[in-house]
């Protein structure tokens, strides 16, 4: 994808919130892209960003092995905003001093402004901000001034107006900093002089043009699962290359109930896409036999997907390209598994499961987008709401919603329970209000009583969360009568379950998925 004239480079120092910065910048109408923290200053300059943002990170700038950027970045004349670790790194490189804080500051704090212009223009004298740090800046670099303080951090915000270098100890990208977007807008439009223009209409036009140019007259295989991402991908490719698209739906036995039927109905019958469905249930179940570790599950599934595609490609003739619906969060969450500075959360099969000897050229036109942007792209392409607003479903499917070993029996039980859950959520008009709702199969059995007889059956967990971006999430406070109806139906209608429990943990510290 060709970058717009105005764009922001975000240097990733490993924060799990890095992509939130990128998302907030895009919400302001400016394209942003995450790059490695160790990019050279001259390379960055040649790529022409309007400004640079340093992300936070889990490391301490006081440790020798912590990530450090090219020091020349501060001399190329481009505005820089450092956030948390990024601010501390900026201070240390430019001659300031950072020390271990006596008391770690985590959560809400009150920012007292020392200056109400430039970066903090338009803010009140006191603002709520979100802190998460164990180090703090105790001496400013030359040319900097303190522009904001909190009770535990004298240098909570600093700035050098002449060189257009700024640092924030708090996180403006999270929703817990109410005026965070205002601060980012001040940096983007007031300091960096960006112009708003990034939108999904322009993305669609640019992507179609780029896809036609890259593929020429070659055929493209598209991995279609029926989820939002792959559905948007398929229609985008269909618009771009028409009959040269070969969409393939793999039934790997890890999908939701009736998934194959719904995909065929929508894409083959309605959109007239060249779609082939493959029954690979036995292949995947055999490959997952005895595997309990979630990372191994993901990588096995990723490799099997590619293997099946390669087999099908031979039958379809020469096919050069494979398209996947990889999104930006997939890439970011897998970054540490492929050499990035982030702490490992999980590997996505679209990223971490690909073999090194891949026999296709990979096409991932959505890999720079977030979920909400993909939905807007889908709307631009005319996809119906029931596809666009499907809740996220993991690439490895039900394999990571069964804790422990995968069996056909467990899959069948979980599939039925999950279908009942979603059915009742929709009946209660809660589906669009939840980020995700799904069931998890636990590797434990409990005693129950059914029809005056003792049972010893399985446990299913209901997980339902509300979220804006999936990086933070709160457990959903579903009405008791809805939970009761879901529980009654699952226990009565799904043979093999005699207990239903509800997950009341938020993210962080828990993740949304259990594996």
Q: Annotated catalytic sites, by residue?
A: 84, 171, 173
As a residue count, the chain comes to 515
Give whole-number Cα distances, 207 to 151, 237, 450, in Å: 48, 9, 57
Cα gap 283→134, rounded to integer Å = 48
Q: What secondary structure does DSSP assign to 151-182, as a single string?
A: SS-S-SEEEETTTTEEEESS-TTSTTSTTHHH
List the helix and strand counts (H, then E) for the chain. 14, 18
* Residue 60 φ then ψ, to 5°: -110, 135
407 token code pair? 């069996």
Cα gap 353→376, rounded to integer Å = 28
Neighbours of 503 (CB within 10 A): 16
* Residue 9 φ then ψ, to 5°: -90, 125
Q: Give the pairing type, strands 436-450 and 145-149.
A: unpaired
Give whole-number Cα distances, 271 to 1, 228, 267, 279, in Å: 26, 15, 5, 22
Check the CA dihedral 116-118-122-123 and report its sign.
negative
Check the CA dihedral 191-197-200-205 and report its sign.
negative
Q: What secondary structure does DSSP assign to 48-115, as a single string?
A: --SEEEE---SS-TTSTTS----GGGGGSS--EEEETHHHHHHHHHTT-EEEEEEEEEEEEEEEEES-
Selection from 127, 133, 140 nearest residue 84 by Cα: 133
Cα gap 298→83, rounded to integer Å = 33
Selection from 40, 42, 115 nearest residue 70 by Cα: 40
In terms of DSSP H, where are the helices of 270-407?
Answer: 281-288, 294-316, 328-333, 371-381, 385-388
79 token code pair? 């505005």
Q: In 265-282, which positions are buried (b, 16+ CB within 10 angstroms) versus exposed (e)?
A: ebbbeeeebbbebbebbe
ω into residue 381 within 30 of 0, thus cis?
Answer: no
């Amino acid at each position: 994808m060709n970058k717009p004239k105005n764009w922001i480079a975000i240097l990733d120092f490993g924060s799990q919130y890095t992509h939130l910065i990128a998302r907030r910048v895009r919400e302001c109408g400016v394209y942003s892209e995450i790059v490695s923290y160790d990019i050279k200053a001259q390379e960055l300059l040649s790529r022409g960003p309007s400004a640079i943002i340093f992300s936070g990170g889990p490391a301490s700038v006081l440790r020798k092995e912590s990530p450090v950027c090219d020091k020349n970045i501060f001399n190329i004349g481009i505005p820089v905003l450092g956030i948390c670790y990024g601010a501390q790194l900026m201070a240390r490189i430019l001659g300031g001093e950072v020390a271990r804080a006596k008391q770690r500051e985590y959560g809400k704090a009150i920012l007292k402004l020392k200056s109400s212009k430039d970066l903090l223009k338009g803010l009140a004298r006191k603002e709520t901000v979100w802190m998460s740090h164990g180090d703090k800046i105790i001496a400013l670099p030359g040319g900097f001034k303190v522009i904001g303080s909190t009770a535990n951090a004298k240098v909570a915000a600093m700035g050098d107006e002449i060189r257009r270098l700024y640092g924030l100890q708090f996180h403006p990208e999270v929703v817990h900093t109410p005026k965070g977007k205002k601060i980012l807008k001040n940096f983007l439009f007031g300091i960096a002089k960006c112009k708003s223009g990034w939108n999904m209409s322009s993305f669609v036009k640019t992507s179609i043009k780029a896809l036609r140019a890259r593929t020429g007259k070659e055929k493209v295989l598209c991995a279609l699962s029926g989820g939002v991402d792959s559905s948007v991908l398929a229609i985008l490719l269909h618009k771009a290359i028409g009959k040269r698209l070969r969409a393939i739906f793999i039934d790997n036995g890890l999908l939701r109930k009736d998934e194959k039927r719904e995909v065929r109905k929508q894409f083959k019958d309605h959109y007239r896409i060249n779609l082939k469905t493959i029954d690979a249930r036995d292949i995947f179940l055999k490959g997952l036999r005895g595997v309990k570790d979630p990372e191994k599950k993901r990588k096995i599934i990723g490799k099997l997907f590619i293997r099946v595609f390669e087999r099908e490609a031979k039958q379809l003739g020469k096919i050069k390209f494979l398209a996947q619906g990889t999104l930006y969060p997939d890439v970011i969450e897998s970054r540490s598994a492929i050499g990035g500075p982030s702490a490992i959360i999980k590997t996505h099969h679209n990223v971490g499961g690909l073999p090194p000897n891949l026999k296709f050229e990979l096409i991932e036109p959505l890999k720079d987008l977030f979920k909400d942007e993909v939905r807007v792209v889908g709307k631009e392409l005319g996809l119906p709401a029931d596809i666009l607003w499907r809740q996220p479903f993991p690439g490895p499917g039900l394999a990571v919603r069964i804790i422990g070993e995968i069996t056909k029996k467990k899959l069948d039980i979980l599939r039925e329970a999950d279908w009942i859950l979603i059915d009742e959520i929709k009946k209660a008009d809660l589906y669009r209000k939840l980020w995700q709702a799904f069931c998890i199969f636990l590797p434990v059995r409990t005693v129950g009583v059914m029809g005056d007889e003792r049972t010893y059956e399985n446990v299913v967990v209901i997980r339902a969360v509300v979220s804006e971006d999936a990086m933070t999430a709160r457990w959903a406070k579903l009405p008791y009568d809805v939970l009761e109806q879901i529980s009654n139906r699952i226990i009565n209608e799904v043979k093999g379950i005699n207990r239903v429990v509800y997950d009341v943990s938020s993210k962080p510290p828990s993740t949304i998925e259990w594996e």
